[in-house]
Each structure stands twice: as structure tokens, then as C-alpha cells.
A = this chain, B = another copy of it.
């Protein structure tokens, strides 16, 4: 903040340790940024400082539910939301602890898969090696879709992937190495693709097995051949993949494995008509990726302003691995949008024990105050 005194709690005040964590649902994702922005504004007002640019705040409450009404809201309030550029304040900071600015997100789409065995569970002794085994079938199908190194084996899946640009490569090379320490903290001796760096790997699409459910394991396991097997996936997408093309490629792949693919409920008549049936139900949410060029002027101005507040320039990453509906701001409002997160990377977002490291909150207040106070000096649209 260029030496301007802003009253706020700090660990130098001696009362609260910045390493302490606040545990609460959505503490890191996404109450942290909301509180940091508003506190920054209060602090500037208390210090008699005015923002250097005009500000509009837009808080959307359905982002974790696929933002089903966002397009409608943006279209309806196009005039009210008029502006020069957008900042998307969500997600975690870099694993190194440094402030980061991300120029894109991956897209996301999910699917539920069911394959079928006999209409009633069968004794695995009397019918094993004769009746189709849905647990084995779904394993074969999943392994046909993705190898253990993350490579998606679905034909043509990478055709639309936008190549990584030279400036993106340089940006990735400039990111402090964190993989080794990350692996250690996660109990991983190795990561996929021969320990290729995380920042490189998120420039590519991903197929995540969210879940598999067949029969039972452990004490509940029974010597039975199950009637069906289920799996759930999410696909992370990159520019210029489209949802429709991904859905078509996956469905076509499953068909090539010999399956009749349907989104409908599966009847006994259908089972008797097709040797293998895969019910594939695509999630209604989902959106494509978004990734601005590294030399974008708005991003450079934000980086300088944030650097003024934080005391050093933020890391510039081509993309974050996660997803957000950034494409809608581009499609509906035709404005640039980049990401400025503040939460600790290990905040367990969406999971048990979600938390916010207090120093991240305090640093975030400085980051947003620096941005509001200094952006006007660097950004002349």
C-alpha cells in the first residue's frame, strides 16, 4: 500500500498468530475473498483513501452448484454490470504461499456411467465365469478411457486442445518449484507422468474418477455377481475443447468398446436386445475453459497494482487447475476476466475441515487494498 497506514490485525500486533486457522464451511472458498475485499474498502475509507478506479462488486451464490442462472443474470443486468474488465476472486493461492494471478480456468463437465450384469444377483460359484461381471466390465471400460499416467485414451480427445504458447511456457518455467514438497505433504512418492510439474499438467485436460460403486467390499462383501456397476467422472477441459464435442467423443469411445450407449433408464427388454449396455448421463452443469494471453494489458496492470500492495509482484500463471464460469463474462459481456485468489492452497475446500489461514486473510486485505488504490495508475482502458 505504498506506506499508507491501514488499521488491520497483524501477527506483529501480538494477539493472534497468522498461522492460526479459522475452520468453517466455505471459510476459504469463498467467504475469505468477500471479507477481504470489504475490509479493504473499510480500511481505505478509514484512512481517507479513495479507490483509483470505479468498482462494482458482483457476488454470485450458485457458483458451487454450476451457476445455472448466471448467464440469465448477466444478460438481464448487462447495463448495470457494464465495466472495463473483471476480476474473479476465487480459489486458492499458490502452493509456495506466494500471491498469484491466474489468467484462466479449466472447464468442467461430469458424467455418470452404469453397466449391467444379470437382473438379479447371482451366486459367484454357480455362475462365475459364465455370467457377465459388471465390476470387471466397468474396470475394463475405465481403463480403456485413461491410463495410470493421466493420459486420456479416448480417440481424438486431444485434437481440440490449444497448444501451450511460448509465453505460457516461460510463465510456467518462472513458477517456484513446489512439486517435491507437495508430494511429501500428500504422502506421494511420485505423481503422474514421471513427476511432470503440476503447473504443466493443468494445461491439459484431466479425467477424474470421482467414484466407483459395485457390490460391497470388506466385511460387507458377498460371493455374488452384481446386477450393475456404477462410476462417476469429472472431466477438466482446456481451450478450445467444447462440451458437446467431449460428450460425443466419450460416448463414441464407449460405443467402440461394444456398448449400446443410452441416457435412458435401462429396461429388461433393452438388456435382452444388447449384449452390453452403458447408461451414460451427462451432468447438466459444466462449462468450457477460459485462458487469456499472458501479455494481456489488464493482467499486467493488476499485477503491478497488487505488487504495490503486497510488497512484491504476484506470480503470473496461465491457468488455474480448477474451474469457474469465466467464459460467460467473455461471451455475454465481452470483457476480459482474470483470477486473483487469496486463500491458502491447503484449505480443504469442498471437503471436511475447510479452513482459512489467518495470515492469508490479512495478506488478502492488503492485496485488495493495493489493487483498488493503485490499479488506476497502471490501467488506462
Scan A265-280; emit 1 where CB is below 8 A from any B CB, else 0. 0001001111100000
Chain B residues in 8 Å Cβ range of A274: 189
- List CB contacts (< 8 Å) of A100-142 with chain B: 105-106, 108, 110, 112, 116-142
One of B184, B211, B222 near A272 (C-beta < 8 A): B184
Report the minimum CB–CB distance from A233 to chain B (whole Å). Answer: 9
Report the minimum CB–CB distance from A312 to chain B (whole Å). Answer: 23
Chain B residues in 8 Å Cβ range of A351: 120-121, 222, 224
User: Across the interface, do A211 and B206 meet the contact criterion of CB distance under 8 Å?
Assistant: no
User: Across the interface, do A187 and B271 meet the contact criterion of CB distance under 8 Å?
Assistant: yes
A166 at the interface (CB under 8 A from B): no
Chain B residues in 8 Å Cβ range of A137: 148
Q: How large is the interface on A (under 10, 10 to 19, 20 to 34, 35 or more residues)?
A: 35 or more
- List CB contacts (< 8 Å) of A203-233 with chain B: 204-218, 220-226, 229-232
User: Among A190-198, A290-298, A355-363, which stretch is in contact with chain B?
Assistant: A190-198
Report the minimum CB–CB distance from A138 to chain B (whole Å). Answer: 7
One of B92, B133, B187, B210 near A215 (C-beta < 8 A): B210
A202 at the interface (CB under 8 A from B): yes
Report the minimum CB–CB distance from A212 to chain B (whole Å). Answer: 4
Chain B residues in 8 Å Cβ range of A223: 108, 110, 208, 210, 234, 350
A247 at the interface (CB under 8 A from B): no
A39 at the interface (CB under 8 A from B): no
User: Across the interface, do A212 and B209 meet the contact criterion of CB distance under 8 Å?
Assistant: no
A238 CA to B112 CA, complexed, in Å: 38
Write the chain B residue with the least CB distance to A144: B143
Write the chain B residue with the least CB distance to A196: B130
A4 at the interface (CB under 8 A from B): no
A322 at the interface (CB under 8 A from B): yes
> Would A187 and B131 be within 8 Å (CB), given that A213-B213, A322-B126 are in contact?
no
User: Across the interface, do B212 and A212 meet the contact criterion of CB distance under 8 Å?
Assistant: yes
Given contact pairs A108-B125, A131-B188, a sample of 8 additional A-B residue pairs in the complex whose CB atoms are under 8 Å apart: A125-B320, A126-B202, A129-B205, A132-B188, A135-B209, A208-B223, A211-B215, A211-B216
12 A–B pairs (Cβ distance < 8 Å), ordered by A:
A125-B323, A126-B202, A128-B208, A129-B204, A129-B236, A132-B188, A133-B148, A139-B143, A142-B143, A188-B272, A213-B213, A218-B230
